Amino acid sequence: MSQTTQTSLWQHLAAYVLLARHHLRHGLRKGTKRGLDLAVGLTMVLLLSPLLITAALMIIIVDGRPVTFAGKRVGKFCRLFPMLKFRTMRRDAEAIEKKIQEHKISQTAQHFVDPEHESVMKLRHALLKFSSAEKYPNDPRILPCGKFMRKFSVDELPQLFHIVSGDMSLVGPRPFALWEVAEFTPRDLLRHKIKPGLTGLWQISNRNSITHDEAIGLDLKYAAKQSLWLDLKILLMTVPIALKNRGGN
């Protein structure tokens, strides 16, 4: 066997060893992350079960069933999945919004007169001036208990079941709605190569003033540098932020 052939064989062997080591590290990281998700997710479901039950009962008493709302979100590899939240709006919230969008061309009071549904008419008036906004200030469709749940992020707790099932992870990019992802650039879509998470680098930053590009940049940074230690760091930093109510309303 010539020296050239021997050198080539050693090069191929070294390449296979490097590839095997890469797959081993990837598998260990993936397994460790999944183990952390299951351990923490199940523990939180058990510890928070009284709060979960109380929130569900509050919604039923105030506005009946269902207690959850499943909105379509974009997950890993851009696959859609129904992400659960506690329902914080009245049951006909989407119907009212549809009416708002249908009638927002005209802003005259008589255009909204609806003798059979006076309460709906009042809500149309209240929402009309905010109909072009993503979120309505003091949205009258929000249930009284819904305001409390939003303030303290209780409405997000059903996502723990997605973490246990494997659709989501404790740490990762927050899942966006399809209409939001439709505006993404090819660079932005790279954030979907990993599972969406309950919290991430974006959430432990000052997310009230962060720009879209900065937020995507943090998601991509996490996707490139994810590790068990980074996950633990983000989880520990999330706790005081959540307690200070720096999250979304």
Whether 73 and 83 have beta carbons less than 8 Å apart is answered as: yes
Query: Which single residue is written with the structure tokens 């900065």?
Result: 214
Q: Which two tokens stand for residue 65?
A: 């069933």
> How do residues 152-181 score in pLDDT, each as one tens digit?
889 999 999 999 999 999 999 999 988 888
Query: What tokens appear for 179 in the block?
Result: 């209409």
Pick from 152, 140, 129: nearest CA to 89: 140
Q: Which single residue is written with the structure tokens 């923490």?
A: 40
pLDDT tens digits, one per residue of 66-91: 999 998 899 998 899 999 999 998 88
Kindly give, in sequence order, each residue whose CB lies less than 8 Å from that of residue 85, ignoring residues fewer than 6 positions away. Answer: 68, 69, 70, 71, 155, 156, 158, 159
Q: Where are the chain's structural domains?
A: 31-89+145-243, 93-141
CA distance linking residue 198 with residue 171, whole number of Å = 6
Confidence category of residue 239, pLDDT binned at 50, 70, 90 = confident
Amino acid at 179: W
Q: How confident is the model at residue 23 (pLDDT cuts 50, 70, 90)?
A: low
- Write the pLDDT tens digit of every residue in 125-148: 555 554 444 455 567 788 989 888
